[in-house]
Amino acid sequence: MKTAGAIALVTLGCANAFVIPAGRTVVRAETARAAEKINTIEFELDKPKVVTMDSVDAGGKKVYCRCWKSGTFPLCDGAHVKHNEATGDNVGPLIVSGPKKE
């Protein structure tokens, strides 16, 4: 791993590289593949990949789950709060808002 100032450049194989902020933990791809499944709510298991497309009206807002624990997935129901308290994690939702109405 090469470091330059506050970032680290991590190279995977030949051409794949990504930047990680200094102080963050790097997990090797082999370790990540062996980890537990994220999709524990069994959402759209018949599909090779879960992909959600949506739109937000002007002045509107949608809050999406990033912890995979929501009972209303892909929308957030606040389940991350209980998860964070139990694990010490800091996961939260993705909030998307449309442009303000004129």
* Per-residue pLDDT of the chain in tens (102 residues, 90 and over written 9): 444 444 444 444 444 444 555 666 555 555 555 578 889 899 999 999 999 999 999 999 999 999 999 999 999 999 999 999 999 999 999 999 999 887
pTM of the model: 0.61
Interior/surface letters 55-83, b for 16+ CB within 10 angstroms, e for the rest: eeeeeeebbebebbbbeebbebebbbeee
Q: Is 37 a catalytic residue?
A: no
Q: Where in the chain is the domain with CATH 3.40.5.90?
A: 36-102
Rg over alpha carbons for the chain, rounded to the nearest Å, is 18
Choose, from 49, 62, 69, 82, the residue flagged as catalytic: 49
Burial class (CB in 10 A: 0-12, 13-18, 19+), 20: middle
Class of domain 36-102: alpha beta
Extract the tokens encoding 87: 């694990």
Asked whether 38 and 74 are in contact (CB, 8 A), the reply is: no
At 34 the three-state DSSP class reads: helix
Extract the tokens encoding 5: 């100032």
